[in-house]
Structure formats: structure tokens, C-alpha cells
Amino acid sequence: MSGRVGKRALITGITGQDGSYLTELLVSKGYEVHGVLRRASLFNTDRIDHLYHDPHQVRPSVLLHYGDLADGASLRHVLETVQPDEIYNLGAQSHVRVSFQIPEYTADVAGLGTLRMLEALREHAERSGRHVRYYQAGSSEMFGAAAPPQSENTPFHPRSPYGVSKAAAHWYSINYREAYGLFICNGILFNHESPRRGETFVTRKVTRAATRIKLGLQDKLYLGNLDARRDWGFAGDYVAAMWLMLQHEVPDDFVIATGTSHTVREFVELTFDQVGLDWSKYVEFDPRYLRPAEVDFLEGDASKARSILRWEPTVGFNELVRMMVESDLELARQERTLINAGHNAPERGRATVRQV
């Protein structure tokens, strides 16, 4: 490891939405950031390419290590190599609908994967005597059918294999904190979005579609349940909360949410309004996007984080939608320019048309 004086962080899920914002935040604070990268046949580092420098050319602040939450040996090896001050366990199969299709894999990565990471941490802490702080990426999906507003005191009633796996990860984390005295925090984060959100989550699916329809690249948008309510915040605000939890004197668990909620239909209406279209002419129902069990209403009470961590969201619902629409309009314009110049639509455009 380099002789850098700042802290060193290890992030699983560094290539995901939150991993990219958290990496930006930590680099801006002088951290050396190490990420666990899972092997893929195509490059999967788009979201962090702007932060990554060729290690042959400059002294890098972001370094990547192959590993997988399904492979405990790789996690132990990365931990021993990096010797981090802080670990952020963000890696997961994070799509709720998909977790009904691949439940065992979801449990293996989101549930057991957390246990593997915690075991690696326990062994490392015992062997080295080092004090490492650990953040676990928990989810409001754990509340599931519990009535809003949901807080740290609300009992879990998960409604998907993903939610159950995250609840297991949450309790594994508490168990390791109590049993071994490790500094472990559970964040219970409500939905958070951004221009970097995966294109199969509903918000990004909607902003991509509305902007592509506006530019004549797509005709229709197929959606499932428009009545579900979510408490949507901005991912950049939420990674700041992760960091604040690990700077607190004692390890604890915190709900992170805006405290306001909207239906999927309201998100759709506002998005289409922003591009000057009437959503009802373009949006159609497709039952394939329904879930075997739905989470109807999530709205968080983050008063504990507000008072203890002094955390506040800075981006409201309208601003979030505007930010995502602006970014996706630019993508659609680029796609349109390529098509006008006689090129095929780029691969990611075609993936959106498939509407996964």
C-alpha cells in the first residue's frame, strides 16, 4: 500500500450508483479508495471511469481489486491487502423484482455475502488488532408491509427475497457488533436516485423513456403498479449519511429518508410534464412489471439521523426529477445525433427499448 497519510476505505459495490457517489465524496476528503470489482465480460466501470487513473501513470486515489461477495476467500484476501480504516458494504443484487426470479443468488450475495464480509472483518480485526469501521447498506425494503412512517423502531415485514436477505444482513451486522464489539453501523436507506441510477429501476426507466419519446427514439413506456408510494431522495445526499455514520463516536443504526413520498404515477406525470408531453398518451400497463408481493407505501422518519448526525437531504423531489430529466435529455440528444449521422443506436439505447 502507498504511504498516503489520509484514511483508506474499502467499498464493495463501487461500480454501482452509490459506490460512484461515495467514491467521489471520499476522494474529495483525501481518502485512498479501494473497490471490489467483480469480473465481467464487458467493462462495468462506467460510473467510476472519471475517477480512475492508470496506476502506471499517476499515484492513484482509486484502486480496484477483483473479488466477489459470493467468494469469501477473495474478500479475506482484499481485506488483508488493503488494510482499510473503513469498509462500506454496498455490493448486492439490488433489484427487487429480479430477486423473485433469482432468489437463491440474491440471498447468497445480499445476505450470506454480508456474513462473509463480516467474518473476514472479524478475523482481520482479531489477527491484526486494527480498529476498522464498517457500514452495512440496509434498505427500507426491509420494512415492506409495515405502515408508514417507518423509523428505526418499526418492525420489519419484508415482502421480497431481496428484502428478506437485507433483513438477514441487518441482523448479522447487529450480531457481530454485539458479539465481537466491532464498529458496525446499519444504514436503513429509503429509495435514492440520480442520473446514474440503473435503467431498470422505475425512476430512471421513466426519465430515459420520456426523453427518448420526446426525441422520437421510442414510442411507448410499459410500466407495472403506478399506485406504489416511495420516499425518493438524491443518492449524493445519501452517501454523505453513510460517511457520517462511520464518523460518529459509537456504532448505531439510522434511517435515511426525506420524509415525503409520491406515487409512481406522480413521478411519471412530473417527468412527462418536464419534457412537455401528456404521459397518458404514452404509458401502458404491462403485468410483467408487477411483483408477486408489492411494497405499497414507504415514507421514512429520519429524525434520529437529523438530530444525531446532523444529516439533511439537500435535493427535493422536483429538483431530483429535473436533474434526471436534464441528464437523460442530453443522452437522448447524443443518441439522436448518432442516428442522424447514419450510425446504429448505441447498445444502451437498445437495452432501454427492450424495457427490462
**Among positions 11, 169, 223, 315, the unique one binding ligand G4F when judged by CB under 6 A:** 223
Least gap, CB of 301 to ligand NAP (angstroms): 16
Comparing C-alpha atoms, which of 181, 305, 152 is closest to residue 243? 305
Which of ligand G4F, ligand NAP, none is residue 38 near (CB under 5 to 8 Å by kind)? ligand NAP
Least gap, CB of 202 to ligand G4F (angstroms): 4
**Among positions 8, 9, 10, 17, the unique one binding ligand NAP when judged by CB under 6 A:** 17
Residue 326 designated active-site = no
Residue 141 designated active-site = yes
Burial 99-118 (b: 16+ CB within 10 A, else e): beeebeebbbbbbbbbbbbb
Give me the residues paired with residue 189 across strands.
Answer: 139, 256
C-alpha cell at 322: 429535473
Residue facing ligand NAP at closest CB distance: 16
The runs of H, that is alpha helices, within 57-157 are 72-82, 96-101, 103-106, 113-128
Q: Which is nearer to ligand G4F, 61 or 154 (CB)?
A: 154
**How far apart are alpha carbons 231 and 326 in whole angstroms?**
21
**Among positions 8, 9, 10, 19, the unique one binding ligand NAP when judged by CB under 6 A:** 19
Least gap, CB of 8 to ligand G4F (angstroms): 27
189 lies in the binding site for ligand NAP (CB under 6 A): yes
94 lies in the binding site for ligand G4F (CB under 6 A): yes
Residue 178 CB neighbours (<10 A): 10
* Choices 58-66, 84-92, 284-292, 338-346; region in contact with ligand NAP by CB under 6 A: 84-92
Which of ligand G4F, ligand NAP, none is residue 137 near (CB under 5 to 8 Å by kind)? ligand NAP
CA–CA distances in Å: residue 342 to residues 195, 330, 337, 338, 345: 27, 19, 9, 6, 9
Tell me, by CB under 6 A, how many residues bind ligand G4F: 22
Residue 162 designated active-site = yes
**How far apart are alpha carbons 69 and 90 in whole angstroms?**
10
Q: Which of 61, 139, 160, 327 is catalytic?
A: 139
**Among positions 205, 208, 212, 214, the unique one binding ligand G4F when judged by CB under 6 A:** 205
**How far apart are alpha carbons 199 and 207 in whole angstroms?**
9
Give the distance between the most distant pair of CA atoms in the chain: 63
Q: Which of 24, 32, 86, 141 is catalytic?
A: 141
Q: Which of 162, 172, 176, 238 is catalytic?
A: 162
Residue 214 CB neighbours (<10 A): 21
Give me the residue label for grid cell 423473485: 100
**Among positions 47, 97, 124, 196, the unique one binding ligand G4F when judged by CB under 6 A:** 97
Least gap, CB of 117 to ligand G4F (angstroms): 17
* DSSP for residue 143: T
Residue 76 CB neighbours (<10 A): 18
Which of ligand NAP, ligand G4F, none is residue 91 near (CB under 5 to 8 Å by kind)? ligand NAP
Which residues have a catalytic role annotated?
139, 141, 162
- Which positions lie near ligand G4F, rule CB under 6 A? 94, 96-97, 139-141, 190-191, 200-202, 205, 223-225, 228, 230, 264, 289, 291, 294, 298
